[in-house]
Structure 1
Amino acid sequence: MVARIAVVTGGNKGIGFEVCRQLASHGGVTVILTARDETRGTEAAERLRAPGLTDTDVVFHRLDITDASSIATLADFVKTRFGKLDILVNNAGVGGVEYPQELDTNDEKFAGLDSNQRLEWMVKNVREAIDAARGAVETNYYGTKHVTQALLPLLLQSSSQGRIVNVPSEYGLLRVT
């Protein structure tokens, strides 16, 4: 059986990492884990392989979704190595805000906070600078759009009707406070 091929943008941590793990663990799917930072991406792929997955289950490829040449390189890689794409998970994104320099989200003070409490903390402590907002639009909208456009011809080659999944973050969540 020919494996299904999946690309996960921003696959080196958080939701993207878990999506990679679950897709690769279910068998029959080769996951291309992408990340901007080559070291972090390689380490994430190695962490996924440690519990028994192989380099045919998880492949790392560097991708900066704001860089046209990086997107083209990924599309060429997928076309050359696999000839098709079955699943595209657009997960890479940025928050569009500036955090205080001393912020460490792995800090113990965040461990006991639920998502509403974290959001409340952010509202009080982050800045919404114009450059950060521009970066968020460039990444979250245009970057995702350009990756999708570049990979769409390969999704159309899928024998299992290619799928695109866009993963929003809490930054895209609308709620009245």
Structure 2
Amino acid sequence: MSHLNVTNEWAKAILSDVNGLTEEKVDKVVSRFLQDAKEDVLESKGWFTRSAYVVSKASPNACKRVLAKNFPKFGINSVSSGFCKTYMSSNNGHFTIEEGAKGPVKLALIISNGPSGLFFFQTEETTF
């Protein structure tokens, strides 16, 4: 969810700039979000009501891209299992636990020369 729902255009532009992304830029996005939340100006600054959840997911994903760039010999990716039918979702998800596990397991089993710095939805590469 987080990779598609960053609604603040400034933050989205920073997090989507794969080649120019740095830890400092990710920190700047998180700091700006926190400042806007403290000032109670989230909506007027382009954040939507569940932005705290989105920022809490998108920022670690962005950091993983930075790590992948800094350590090219490692396979460092992000993967979303999707909205799974679990206890946490009160079994209201769209995917079974088995379906949700396919992506993380597939990436974990890659031996070498696999993808790095990418975002996957289940088993398919997708946009950040």
Select the structure of larger CA radius of gyration. Answer: 1
TM-score normalised by length of structure 2: 0.31
Structure with bigger strand share is 1
